[in-house]
Structure 1
Amino acid sequence: MDVAVIGLGLIGGSLAQALAAAGHRVLGFDADPATRGTARTAAARAPQQARWQVAGRLRDVVGQAELIVLAVPLPALPGVLAELAGFDGMVTDVTSVKGPVRELVRQHLRVPAYVGGHPMAGKETSGFAAADPGLFAGCAWVLCLEPQETALPGWLAMARLVTSLGARAVPATAAEHDRAVAAASHVPHLLAAALTTAVADDPLAAALAAGSFRDGTRVAATRPELIAAMCGGNAAAVGPALDGVLKTLTDLRAALDGPDPTGALRPLLAPSSAARAAWPAAAGTAVELPWQVDALLDLGRAGGWVTGVDDGRRVVHAVRPETVGGRT
């Protein structure tokens, strides 16, 4: 497949390299000349079977692509989409919020197949220098599936592509995705920032910080503008998710003021301990599902994922995770 990757930061750079290594013809572009130069050097040094190219202008990638991957931050998307007017192939993105991207694509493009995407494979480092072609192996890659809107053949084509890179394709609507990542990804970035701030001016606390601090604050090292764009772009979902966390913290704070703080804290902490011990869910049962939107969305809502697409039998191979009590 001829794939254009627009934006060569951590995710875009990793994806360009992974696609090239998988045998696809890849043309990348980044608005930053220095990033283009670094990526061009890396592409030229890649093994022969993983070679790819870097374009000097955005317009150069449009006419050659069957699939365009938008891998730029949310604030940059309107300008990029304006330059893609007239493109009639497939479009996907890797942005961490899906509702706003869906609306922007609808405003700017008239493409037959747009499938919003989000690989849950980031890390605290950023830029092309941090790119890794193995980044997506084993990761959950949300592929948005909107009833009466998403072209199912396009969704299946994207599922084939991401599973060929070793990812797990998770079907969800944009609204479902944004609600879920608000709690599982976006709020943790805000909490990491708050935890880091708590020890920033305390040299003794910083010297004593160990595993719990490291694990709880890792993503605080993410570039502030990326966290702001991620959380601000998903504010409608992040706000309620953060309210829930604040309510829990308020309850814990109140327990500390009681006559028996240890006894008061224990029942408040028990549910979270059990939930964390049960994460991630066991792989569960391998299933086959028909090419139907409702069946795929039910799979995603149950925490399941697609591992492959069988064109001959018109089914997807999928996994439903185990739930409490061993049920699937």
Structure 2
Amino acid sequence: MDVAVLGLGLIGGSLLQALAAAGHRVVGFDADPATRGTARTAAARARSGARWQVAGTMRDALASAELVVLAVPAPALRPVIAELDDFDGLITDVTSIKGPVRELTKGLRFVGGHPMAGKETSGFRAAEPGLFEGCAWVLCLDQETETADWLVLAELITGLGARVVPSTAAEHDRAVAAVSHVPHLLASALTGVVAGDPFAAAVAAGSFRDGTRVAATRPELIAAMCGGNAPAVLAALDEVRKNLDALGTALSAPDPAGALRPLLAPTSAARSAWPPVPGDQAELPIRRDVLLRLGRVGGWVTEVDRERRKVVAMRPETDRNSF
């Protein structure tokens, strides 16, 4: 497939390399000349058969593309999408918020996407072709989404080793507020507590490292994703505040340890059960309602058979209901 990747940061650069390694014809473009130069150098050094091209202009990148991947930061999406008005191919994105992008792409052949993969480092130098192996990759199936277009992307993405999770844009934004956006804010808040305490920083170990890793993400990226999903992030923050208030109340009890245990037990069990254990594998018909239900119960697509109009899906062990 001929693919143009617009934006060559961590996700776009990793996708450029992964698609090339999978045998696709890939052209990348980035507005930053230095990034384009780095990507060209990496292409020249890539092993045979896994090379990609880097265009000097966006128009050149689009010249032969069947699929365009928007991998630019959220604030840059509007002007880039405006350049795609006369593009009649398929468009997807990798942005961590889906509702606003859905609005910007009305009238285009668009399927919203979000690979749940990343690192606290950014830029093309941090990119790696194996970044998406085993990761959950949300593909939106909203009312205006053409199922045939969704299947093209699902086939492409499962071919990279990712697990495709069907969702709507609204469901995605609610979920990532809790599992991605709020954790960035919590990491920032916790890091702020320690930042002015050299002794605490010196003795901090695994729990601090794991709980604050994403605080090292570029501030403008955190601000863009949380600000772009503000209503859902605020709702999730409210829930976290309630939990923190309950823990604070327990600490003020005559027996703090005894008061804390019943609050900590269910969350300990929930975290121990994550990630979900794969359950039964099943062939499912390609129907919007069936695919969305699969995502809602925590399942995912591992293989697409467009000719037979079937997908191979995995349900979590906890879901015993039949489709």
Q: Identify the residue that residue 153 of structure 1 maps to in structure 2.
A: 148
User: Given the alignment, which residue of 149, 159, 164 partners 1:169?
Assistant: 164
| 1:84 Cα deviation from its structure 2 partner | 1.5
Q: Tell me, in whole angstroms, the C-alpha distance in 1 between the residues paired with 2:173 and 2:37.
A: 34
Structure 2 stretches of 5 or more lacking a match? none
Runs of 4+ in 1 over 6 A off after TM superposition: none
| 1:207 Cα deviation from its structure 2 partner | 1.1
Number of residue pairs matched?
A: 322
Q: Identify the residue that residue 304 of structure 2 maps to in structure 1.
A: 309
Provide the secondary structure at the position in 2 that maps to 1:8. Answer: coil
| 1:312 Cα deviation from its structure 2 partner | 3.2
Deviations 1:183-237 (A, max 9, x none): 0111000011011111111111111111100110010110000000010001011
| 1:327 Cα deviation from its structure 2 partner | 7.5
Provide the secondary structure at the position in 2 that maps to 1:177. Answer: helix
Percent of pairs identical after alignment? 73
Q: Tell me, in whole angstroms, the C-alpha distance in 1 between the residues paired with 2:121 and 2:146.
A: 35
Contact 1:63/1:87 (8 A) holds in 2 = no
Q: Identify the residue that residue 248 of structure 1 maps to in structure 2.
A: 243
1:116 to 2:92 alignment: no
Provide the secondary structure at the position in 1 that maps to 2:75. Answer: helix
Q: Tell me, in whole angstroms, the C-alpha distance in 2 between the residues paired with 1:223 and 1:88.
A: 34
1:234 to 2:229 alignment: yes
| 1:47 Cα deviation from its structure 2 partner | 1.6
Q: Tell me, in whole angstroms, the C-alpha distance in 2 between the residues paired with 1:312 and 1:53.
A: 31
Q: Identify the residue that residue 91 of structure 1 maps to in structure 2.
A: 91
TM-score (norm 2): 0.98
Paired letter, 1:128: F
Contact 2:151/2:306 (8 A) holds in 1 = no
Structure 1 stretches of 5 or more lacking a match? none
RMSD of aligned alpha carbons: 1.2
Paired letter, 2:140: C
Q: Identify the residue that residue 192 of structure 2 maps to in structure 1.
A: 197
Deviations 1:230-251 (A, max 9, x none): 1000101100001100110011
1:262 to 2:257 alignment: yes
User: Given the alignment, which residue of 128, 131, 135 partners 1:132?
Assistant: 128
Q: Identify the residue that residue 35 of structure 2 maps to in structure 1.
A: 35
Provide the secondary structure at the position in 2 that maps to 1:294. Answer: helix
Q: Tell me, in whole angstroms, the C-alpha distance in 2 between the residues paired with 1:204 and 1:52.
A: 48
Paired letter, 1:130: A
Contact 2:3/2:27 (8 A) holds in 1 = yes
Contact 2:6/2:30 (8 A) holds in 1 = yes
Contact 1:285/1:321 (8 A) holds in 2 = yes
Question: How is 1:266-281 mapped onto 2 (pairs within 5 angstroms)?
Answer: 266-281=261-276
Provide the secondary structure at the position in 2 that maps to 1:300. Answer: helix
Provide the secondary structure at the position in 1 that maps to 2:235. Answer: helix
Deviations 1:77-122 (A, max 9, x none): 011111122000000000000000000111xxx33x3110000011
| 1:151 Cα deviation from its structure 2 partner | 0.2
| 1:313 Cα deviation from its structure 2 partner | 2.2
TM-score (norm 1): 0.96
Contact 2:28/2:54 (8 A) holds in 1 = yes
Paired letter, 1:119: P
Q: Tell me, in whole angstroms, the C-alpha distance in 1 between the residues paired with 2:276 and 2:57.
A: 44
Deviations 1:148-181 (A, max 9, x none): x100000000000000000000000000000000
Deviations 1:7-63 (A, max 9, x none): 000000000000011111101000111101101111121122011100111111122
Q: Tell me, in whole angstroms, the C-alpha distance in 2 between the residues paired with 1:181 and 1:143.
A: 13
Q: Tell me, in whole angstroms, the C-alpha distance in 2 between the residues paired with 1:251 and 1:153.
A: 48
Q: Tell me, in whole angstroms, the C-alpha distance in 2 between the residues paired with 1:75 and 1:21.
A: 30
Deviations 1:254-293 (A, max 9, x none): 1111211111111111111110111111111101110100
